[in-house]
Amino acid sequence: MYSDVQPFVTHATKDDYAQQYAHYRTLLFDLLDSPVKSTQHIGGTQHFNYPTEPILDILVGVDNLHDITSLDEKRLNYAGFYRLHHTYHKKVMMARFNNLSDLKQQVRLHILQRNTDLFDHYVALDHLLTTSPDAIAFFAQQKQALLTSSQTIRDYEIGKQQLFTQLGKML
């Protein structure tokens, strides 16, 4: 498994990520037409306001998390997405990898129930990091420091989650 945080990228690939998002959006609606109610390209590859990992993050809205059945999960597996089994509260995380040896994440699906505080929080944080110069500068600086100080991807992801908690106070 790939044990390091992937090198950050900048605005040079924004159009490529927009095209990838359009492709995966269509795939999700075609593959899971009943549970998927909305998708949104979120995170750094959507706007490149700060250096970010080369991972396309997609917020997937469903009416109920229980609507993602084992059949839906199997369909996502056939499309190259695999469930990430960590402690996630009230969400399902799935990722597509470059291959099954290196396991570098290329696309992450954040599957959340719509019309919940958590879903609204994701949307609000994404808006904040798209429009607020103060939030963007804070996040860019802290994320770079986190990259430098983290020993593993897990450490980095835990630290990044703490950054999102701090950003939530700016809402």
pLDDT per position as a tens digit, 1-12 = 567 888 898 776
Q: Domain for residue 6, yes or no?
A: no
Domain range holding 54? 11-168
Q: Domain for residue 5, yes or no?
A: no
Q: Domain for residue 1, yes or no?
A: no
User: Residue 115: what are its φ and ψ, rounded to 5°?
Assistant: 60, 40
∠ CA(116), CA(34), CA(108), 5° rounding? 60
Q: Domain for residue 95, yes or no?
A: yes
Report yes or no: 125 and 164 within 8 Å, Cβ to Cβ.
Answer: yes
Q: Domain for residue 4, yes or no?
A: no
CATH value at residue 19: 3.30.460.10
> Is this structure's pTM higher than 0.85?
yes
Q: Domain for residue 2, yes or no?
A: no
pLDDT tens digit sequence for 133-168? 999 999 999 999 999 999 888 899 899 999 999 999
Q: How many domains does the chain have?
A: 1
DSSP string, 123-160: HHHHHHHHH-HHHHHHHHHHHHHHHHH-SSHHHHHHHH
